[in-house]
Amino acid sequence: MLIVMDKDASPAQIAQVVAKITSLGFLAQPIPGGSRTAIGILRNPGPVDPALFLDMPGVTQAIAVSKPYKLVSREMKREDTIIRLPGLEIGKGRFVVMAGPCAVESELQALTIARAVKAAGAQLFRGGAYKPRTSPYSYQGMGKNGLKILAKVREETGLLIVTEAVDHDSLKLVAEYADIVQIGARSMQNFTLLRRAGHIGKPVLLKRGMYATLEEWLMSAEYIMSEGNPQVLLCERGIRGIGDHARNLLDLASIPAVRRESHLPIVVDPSHAAGRRDLVVPLARAAVAAGADGLLIEVHHDPEKALSDGAQSLYPQQFADLMADLQTLRPGGWC
């Protein structure tokens, strides 16, 4: 249920509605909009009677929200959410590129790649310090030392940092070091981690799970938002497909479909979807043309020696060519 207030509703009237919701045992979530405030009712186990609110002063409408998600939905908030970073905004027609290696391997490696992607026009550096790996025997990342290298990259290049947290411990550290905290596909339904990500005070990039529906993905974003963090950025990275021509099956229809359902921005990771270098550029172009708010691209200066996912990393020159190419696909809206 969404209680929509008059344009001229007073703070006291809003407070009264919040108090009424609370007295019923539910959670009230005021959502200030451009011209009026709405108040979402959360944690109600079943339908709420609109009559309870319609005769309160300052209330114009009580809208039953038919979707299982609330805070993430356009029904609750019509305006596009903008992710605000130091010197950079994501969403609402702006476009952003996050590029770098799958894993941070050394300061030299990270800085070499960071300088290349910065020169080509990227605004954020991506690189994993904590790597979720199918095998316990695979390289699991540099951990905290990797985060320190990422901080150095930001200091030296001015690129902002996005990197993944995989559990409670890494979340606290990553939130300290990164500008955007990534929650990976395998953690999309790690609900405790999502709730904690609601309290870190940093934007969260939430990847779609390996075979998650849009509804499940948006519900996971709802977990983060319901704990008080409205800065959620969705990332389409493909779902499990068939055959072996690509690692995953990039679902670009999710871009317009998410935009219809939600106000949250959405970026695309063509590298994990492709799994092989020669597919990355066509898929990156396609994502831009379909209306993505940004891209997350793997770049490595020496992919043959990369500790993970080298086969899908672009060479710096390929990345630079792609960046030039993308300009022609978005003549107006470049960030």
Strand, coil or helix: 320: helix
Strand, coil or helix: 56: coil
By CB under 8 A, the residues from 291 to 310 that bind a second copy are 291
Of the candidates 24, 119, 210, 324, which one interacts with a second copy according to CB under 8 A? Answer: 210
User: Is 243 among the residues that bind a second copy (CB under 8 A)?
Assistant: yes
User: Is 333 among the residues that bind a second copy (CB under 8 A)?
Assistant: no
Of the candidates 250, 266, 296, 297, which one interacts with a second copy according to CB under 8 A? Answer: 250
CB of 12 to a second copy, least distance (A): 28
Distance CA 139, CA 220 (A): 28
Q: Which stretch binds a second copy (CB under 8 A): 97-105, 172-180, 235-243, 315-323?
A: 235-243
* Token pair 């690129």: residue: 159
User: Is 22 among the residues that bind a second copy (CB under 8 A)?
Assistant: no
Distance CA 78, CA 43 (A): 22
Give burial (CB, 10 Å; 0-12/13-18/19+) of 65.
middle
By CB under 8 A, the residues from 178 to 197 that bind a second copy are 186-187, 189-193, 195
User: Is 168 among the residues that bind a second copy (CB under 8 A)?
Assistant: yes
By CB under 8 A, the residues from 87 to 146 that bind a second copy are 132-137, 139
Of the candidates 114, 129, 232, 279, which one interacts with a second copy according to CB under 8 A? Answer: 279
C-beta of 79 vs 215, nearer to a second copy? 215
The bridge status of strand 180-183 relative to strand 160-165 is parallel
Of the candidates 57, 201, 228, 256, which one interacts with a second copy according to CB under 8 A? Answer: 256
CB of 38 to a second copy, least distance (A): 17
Beta strands in the chain (DSSP E): 2-5, 27-32, 37-42, 59-63, 83-85, 88-90, 96-100, 124-126, 160-165, 180-183, 204-207, 232-236, 266-268, 294-298
What would you report as the CA-atom Rg of the chain, rounded to the nearest whole angstrom?
Answer: 21
User: Is 201 among the residues that bind a second copy (CB under 8 A)?
Assistant: no
The bridge status of strand 124-126 relative to strand 294-298 is unpaired
By CB under 8 A, the residues from 42 to 81 that bind a second copy are 42-45, 68-70
CB of 132 to a second copy, least distance (A): 6
Q: Which stretch binds a second copy (CB under 8 A): 75-83, 91-99, 110-118, 323-331?
A: 323-331
User: Is 282 among the residues that bind a second copy (CB under 8 A)?
Assistant: yes
User: Is 158 among the residues that bind a second copy (CB under 8 A)?
Assistant: no
Kindly report the backbone phi and psi dihedral angles of residue 79, in degrees, each rounded to the nearest multiple of 5, phi listed first: -75, 140
Q: Which stretch binds a second copy (CB under 8 A): 10-18, 41-49, 92-100, 146-154?
A: 41-49
- Cα separations (Å) of 303 from 45, 117, 127, 281, 315? 51, 15, 14, 16, 7
